[in-house]
Each structure stands twice: as C-alpha cells, then as structure tokens.
Amino acid sequence: MRHRVICLLLLFGLPALGGDAYDVIVSVDAAGQSGEASATIRIRASREAVWPLLASCSEELRIVPGLVSCQVMESAPDHSWQRIRHVVDYSWYLPRLTYDVMATYHRPDSIVVERISGDMVRLRGSWTLQAEGGDTLAHYDVDVVPGFWVPNWIIRAAMRRDLPKMLRNLRARAESAHNE
C-alpha cells in the first residue's frame, strides 16, 4: 500500500486575479515515484466560455506550463473523444516527455484524460466544470507516474509551481474571452 504524504495545502485569495480563492492539494508517494494533485478555481465566466479552452490544443499550449506541442492524432466523428500527443519540456533538469492520451469529453461537464502510450507510466487526469451562478468552478485532478526516476522533491516542486500557474492561466484566458 502506498504511503501518501500531504505536502501542500493552500487556500488563499489572489487580489490581482479578482480576489477569488483557489485550492491546491499535492501528495507524493513517499517511497515511490507517483504523485497526485487536486486543484479548484473559481472563474468569472460561464462553462461555455471555459469548455473550449480545455478542449483545444492551441489553448492548452497557452495554459499548461511546459507544454511545447499538442497534436490531435485522431478524433471521434461526434467529438466525444480525441487521441492527443503531448510533448512537455519542463526544464533543463528533466527529460522532454512525449506521450499520447485519450481525452473523453462530456460537454460541458467534464473531460477525462488517460495515458495510452509514451514516456509516462501512468497519467490520469480530469476536469470537472460546475456552474455556480454566472461563474464556473473548475476542478482538476491528476495522478502521475513518470517513466523514469525522479526525486520526490522535484515532482512536488513541479506540481506546487505548475498547478497554480495553470489555474491562473485558465482563469485569465476564460475571463478575457468572456469579457470580449
């Protein structure tokens, strides 16, 4: 059984971004090579404004830190799923990662992503969008196991840095599009 260590629990407001709070929880397997994270943010835009940002490779490149390539390899005729190739280059001290995921879309409520091949051993993620008045609560969960040895502190540091940045990027893009 994996022993989980809660290494970060943040609940704080960002006045420069509208004063709304977001939560980020990161836990890393103390003995192994896995990490889980959960993040929620309030966005002052409808789900209809947020959804296309999460279901678009060109927008993902603007939102996800370290993502340098996003290519749709295959898509269902009804757009209920896509096979997508991601290339991530986090930093000079980690190798560039290339992996394919299956993204399953349940418009406008959720997106589920699961690794099907590539440099990650496991990658499972999901976005859930909840309407709250004219706002959207966007919740993200991810479970990762890299395909190579990485010290736990690097996994922790990357999630602690990148999840809040991804949330802020998503909120900025959605609120900007919503106000145009």
Residue 108 to residue 48: CA distance in whole angstroms:
7
3-state secondary structure of 18: coil
Q: What is the reported pLDDT for 32?
A: 61
Give the chain's domain count: 1
Residue 139 to residue 130: CA distance in whole angstroms:
8
Q: What is the reported pLDDT for 44?
A: 95
Per-residue pLDDT of the chain (180 residues; tens, 9 = 90+): 222 222 222 222 233 333 445 677 777 766 566 788 899 999 999 999 999 999 999 999 999 999 999 999 999 999 999 999 999 997 777 788 899 999 999 999 999 999 999 998 999 999 999 999 999 999 999 998 887 777 777 777 777 888 889 999 999 999 998 666
3-state secondary structure of 176: helix
Residue 75 to residue 83: CA distance in whole angstroms:
6
Q: What is the reported pLDDT for 154?
A: 74
Q: What is the reported pLDDT for 35?
A: 81
| Structure tokens belonging to residue 151 | 């010290």
3-state secondary structure of 44: coil
Q: What is the reported pLDDT for 31?
A: 59
Rounded-to-10 torsion of CA 114, 119, 121, 126: -20
| Structure tokens belonging to residue 93 | 């001290």
The CATH number of whichever domain residue 18 belongs to comes to: 3.30.530.20
Domain range for 92 is: 4-179
